Structure 1
Amino acid sequence: MASLRRSTPDLTRTPLVVSAPSRRGPAVAALAAAAGLGFGAALALPHVVPAADGIDPAARWQHQAEQHRLALDLARARAQELERQIDALNQRVGECRDELTFFRQARDGKR
């Protein structure tokens, strides 16, 4: 730990060296921009499902929508069950709190 404390001031005293811009800068920037545009265009284009397997794309989308609706229904049912369990736990906390109050009052009454 002491060596870390000693090295910190040394780092703050290190001179800052600014190098001259390289000639590759504009080429690298153009290449990065082209790659970004290509990636963005690939994400923006709608995904067309080929019908090579003989399934109608509309039927496939309908099946996927049905699967997502079922998953949503299942998630809602789980959320309701968790809310029910939370309510039961909160009720139990209240009962324990009442019991603790009773025992504290009984203890204080003996004094």
Structure 2
Amino acid sequence: MSSNQKIIDFNHLNSLTNGDESFKKELSAIFLNQIPVFINNMKKYHAHNNLENLAREAHTAKSSAMIFGMENTGMLLKEIQLLAENNNVSEIGPALKEVEKDLLRAKTELDEILKEY
């Protein structure tokens, strides 16, 4: 994905909200606030080898990412979830770095979008 291509695809969110801009704004603000929590928790759980909580956090983050049309990020989060559930610790780090990069891009996009409201 090129750096100028948007990571968020609002098509799914638009269908969920039936075009209700207020609800779309509310969900966007919630996800914006969740992003740093997801990143910090997953990094902390990974660093402390707390794989059960890492799998749970990745699952929760995946659901949020998918609402915003972040298909690739959702697949990476599912991969992290499965790796954690299967104790494949060595493979988690690279996927986690990619997810962090994607989520930070999404945060930037959401910041810009919410300024328009």
Fold agreement, TM-score > 0.5: no
Q: Which structure has the larger Rg over C-alpha atoms?
A: 1
Interval of TM-score (by shorter of Structure 1 and Structure 2): under 0.3
Alignment TM-score, normalising by the size of structure 2: 0.23
